[in-house]
């Protein structure tokens, strides 16, 4: 099969190679890939003991072609969404991938393969963010880096709860974020954006979600006294003014989180946003685009 692989642990370069289709163990399935999502960590997230060449990729969708003897919940021909993060047999940037059956959910008939490929990573994170934020109707939420895959989902999930969302991204993404439900948008490139926001909300926002790296301190500057900042990026900052600063944690089971998000999607509360669909032979171009950290919504490669 054709697959995009890392060839060794030292080099971060990714190249297209012909490699063997992985074998299926008792609790695993073989999926013929139809599409895969492109994420900022695809190049880097591989097991520490990976065997090379190692196929990259964390999320996708496709059709089950073979199942292990111990698999009970799926059958050959099922359309599925999968998570292939750091698996010993490789990821999903390939024509075929093998994943444990507990890293699969059925793809709803109402969703196509491209849509299904977008939600495995960002969707789980967005649902966990909502749990950590513990928002109530009427709260104000500031999101730093709101136009990307995670932020696009959180804007919609939060506004559905009656939360007032203030979204930060570059100017060209402001109309997009308003369309998702953001009430106020700010451009992080503007030197006085914090002062302008605090003119509108003098006491600050109730809670902030810092998604992009190096945004936690700026986020804290617009949070009210004794408010909360949650960092997805891993930023470490000292709390001030009684503000609680928390590191985001992965707490939900993958299937639980994804089924919860799909419930919101099928109910019409959340829209899947795909900025662009690339061909399989354009996958490295798609990876370069996402690594600029200026994507809008999600980028997908269709096979």
pLDDT digits (tens, 9 = 90+) for 261-280: 999 999 999 999 999 999 99
pLDDT score of 295:
80
pLDDT score of 198:
98
- Given a cut of 90, whether residue 290 has pLDDT beyond it is yes
Asked whether the bond before 53 is cis by omega within 30 degrees of 0, the reply is yes
- Share the mean pLDDT of the chain: 96
pLDDT score of 123:
96
Start-end of H helices in 79-202: 113-116, 120-133, 149-160, 174-180, 193-200
Band (24; pLDDT cuts 50, 70, 90): very high
pLDDT score of 27:
98
| Residue where the block lists tokens 């750091």 | 86
Specify the pTM.
0.94
pLDDT score of 48:
93
- Given a cut of 90, whether residue 294 has pLDDT beyond it is no
pLDDT score of 296:
86
Cα dist from 69 to 22, 26, 29, 66, 283, whole Å:
16, 5, 10, 10, 33
Overall average pLDDT of the 174-192 stretch: 97
Overall average pLDDT of the 128-140 stretch: 97
pLDDT score of 233:
82
- Given a cut of 90, whether residue 230 has pLDDT beyond it is yes
Per the CB < 8 A criterion, the answer to whether 140 and 201 are in contact is yes
Name the 3-class secondary structure at 177.
Answer: helix
Band (3; pLDDT cuts 50, 70, 90): very high
Band (12; pLDDT cuts 50, 70, 90): very high
pLDDT score of 236:
87
- Given a cut of 90, whether residue 144 has pLDDT beyond it is yes
pLDDT score of 251:
84
- Given a cut of 90, whether residue 126 has pLDDT beyond it is yes
Band (293; pLDDT cuts 50, 70, 90): confident
Angle between helices 120-133 and 149-160 (to 10 degrees): 40
Per the CB < 8 A criterion, the answer to whether 51 and 93 are in contact is no
pLDDT score of 67:
98
Overall average pLDDT of the 62-80 stretch: 98
Look at phi and psi of residue 121 and say left if phi exceeds 0, alpha if psi is from -120 to 50, else beta.
alpha
Distance in angstroms (rounded) separating the CA atoms of residues 297 and 303:
20
- Given a cut of 90, whether residue 200 has pLDDT beyond it is yes
């Amino acid at each position: 099969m054709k697959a995009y692989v890392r060839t060794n642990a030292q080099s971060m370069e990714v190249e297209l190679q012909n490699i063997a289709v992985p074998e299926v163990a008792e609790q695993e399935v073989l999926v013929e890939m139809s599409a895969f999502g492109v994420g900022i960590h695809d190049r880097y997230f591989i097991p520490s003991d990976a065997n090379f060449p190692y196929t990259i990729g964390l999320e996708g969708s496709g059709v089950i072609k073979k199942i292990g003897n111990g698999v009970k919940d799926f059958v050959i021909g099922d359309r599925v969404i999968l998570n292939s993060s750091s698996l010993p047999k490789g990821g999903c940037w390939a024509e075929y991938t093998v994943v444990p059956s507990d890293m699969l959910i059925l793809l709803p008939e109402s969703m196509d393969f491209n849509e299904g490929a977008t939600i495995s990573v960002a969707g789980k994170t967005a649902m966990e963010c909502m749990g950590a934020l513990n928002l109530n109707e009427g709260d104000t939420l500031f999101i730093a880096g709101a136009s990307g895959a995670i932020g696009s989902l959180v804007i919609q999930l939060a506004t559905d709860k009656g939360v007032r969302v203030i979204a930060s991204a570059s100017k060209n993404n402001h109309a997009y974020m308003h369309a998702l439900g953001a009430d106020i948008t700010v451009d992080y490139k503007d030197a006085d954006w914090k002062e302008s926001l605090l003119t509108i909300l003098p006491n600050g926002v109730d809670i902030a979600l810092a998604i992009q790296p190096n945004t936690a301190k700026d986020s804290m500057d617009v949070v009210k006294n004794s408010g909360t900042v949650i960092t997805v990026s891993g930023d470490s900052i000292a709390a001030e003014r009684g503000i609680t600063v928390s590191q985001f944690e992965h707490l939900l089971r993958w299937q639980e989180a994804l089924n919860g998000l799909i419930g919101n999607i099928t109910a019409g509360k959340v829209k899947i946003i795909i900025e662009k669909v690339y061909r399989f032979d354009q996958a490295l171009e798609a990876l370069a685009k996402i690594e600029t950290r200026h994507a809008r919504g999600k980028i997908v490669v269709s096979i």
